[in-house]
Amino acid sequence: MPGLFENAVKQFEKATRFFKVSDDAKKTLENPKQIIEVSIPVRMDNGKLEIFKGYRVHYNDILGPTKGGIRYHPNVDMDEVKTLAFWMTFKCAVVGIPFGGAKGGVIVNPKKLSKQELERLSRGYIRGIYEFIGPDIDIPAPDVYTNETIMGWMADEYSRISRKLTPAVITGKPVSLGGSKGRDDATARGAYYIIREYAKKHNLDEKKLRVAVQGFGNAGYHIARLLHDDGYKIVALSDSKGGIYTKTGSLHPDSILKVKQEKGMIDGVYCRGTVCDDIEHEDVTNEQLLELDVDILIPAALENQITEKNADRIKAKLIVELANGPTTIEADEILFKKGVTIIPDILANAGGVSVSYFEWVQNRAGYYWELETVQERLKKLMVMAFEEVLKAREEHKTSFRTAAYIYASKKLVAAIEAKGTEEFFRRG
């Protein structure tokens, strides 16, 4: 059975059927540039020494220094990290920022670590990959189960080792440590701008649209909040422990977040107070949420949530991939034939890396932008990318995903081939 990476490469190969690509470019884009694996010794609070395994992958840097998050998760493996770095390469090309793709990960359940252990692990990871990263080489950022505090520790550790303040080495930092305003909700806000554009082009009434969000982490919460504030009906939300669904009314993301912070879950609970006492709701699993009768489905959790096993039961007409790789290649084909529109991850969730780019620019310039400036520039970037992908989709009569890969691939291929191909060198 093909692995995650092999299936991801097939998405690129499918796009290359629509335009001429040299063998040189295909070979380059089907292989990662560099991979590092490190052992991270951590002294635990009980005095015991634990060794954690970490990875960092530079996939391709033809358009600029590599960029990509670091995730902490017990299921992290090299295949996953390599795939995420591959996707990031195309994601940066889609929105037109001068970065290549990278990704990092540590095999750990961060929920089982104390704050002190988490800090030691984070600093140890940076010591392990120190020579592999840098503002002009590779710029990490947060991902699953990492956040601005962890990024602050990592940036500080890099500066300690280099003996100079280097805020541009890491993005997603606290604003007080050189982070960018607007980075906290950037991934969701980018998707929000695209949903608004899609609704406008299809004359959809947002107040009638029913939305289900799988994954109530940072991105899931913010997309639910932004859409709720615009009048969309948020009818279902879930986290790793389960979810809730209402057939009438709309769930209130802020109230649910408050309960989740108090209880550690949203399964079986809702909010308190007048904003939601009159809303009837029921428990649903993550799997059930995907199959609800809604207009917009937003997977905002992990990979491989929509597969050939459940694709036929998906009722949403629009899927917006806030997570990386939530739809398998087999499910993609089934949904396309059903007439379901999927806004792919390499476009839908590119808001995060876009504002990370803004943060990197601000760090290097030593000049920081106001929130309105960040959001205005993000909107311009996302809308422009959406329009270009839409043009490619209409031109080639294909899915949004393949169109996004065509648009991104053309940029990457052009840069690779500009250095010379087999045909060029044969001519002498």
Neighbours of 391 (CB within 10 A): 12
Amino acid found at 277: D
Q: Is 103 a catalytic residue?
A: yes
Given the structure tokens 């503002």, which residue do they identify?
135
Which residues in 136-286 belong to E strands, given as ranges? 138-142, 210-214, 233-239, 242-245, 282-284
Structural contact between residues 159 and 151, judged by C-beta atoms closer than 8 angstroms: no
Cα–Cα distance, 128 to 120 (Å, whole number) = 12
Catalytic residue among 67, 82, 91, 103: 103
Residue 214 neighbours by CB under 8 Å, 6+ apart: 220, 238, 243, 286, 289, 290, 297, 298, 299, 300, 301, 305, 326
Cα–Cα distance, 66 to 135 (Å, whole number) = 9
Structural contact between residues 239 and 248, judged by C-beta atoms closer than 8 angstroms: no
Which residues in 64-172 belong to E strands, given as ranges? 66-73, 100-107, 138-142
Cα–Cα distance, 290 to 339 (Å, whole number) = 17
Burial zone of 200 (CB within 10 Å; 0-12 exposed, 13-18 middle, 19+ buried): exposed
Task: Please report which residue ranges of 135-211 form alpha helices under DSSP H.
Answer: 148-162, 186-201
Cα–Cα distance, 399 to 393 (Å, whole number) = 6
Neighbours of 231 (CB within 10 A): 12
Residue among 17, 351, 283 nearest 343 (CA): 351
Structural contact between residues 285 and 263, judged by C-beta atoms closer than 8 angstroms: no
Three-state DSSP state, 412 = helix
Q: Any idea which residues carry the catalytic annotation?
A: 103
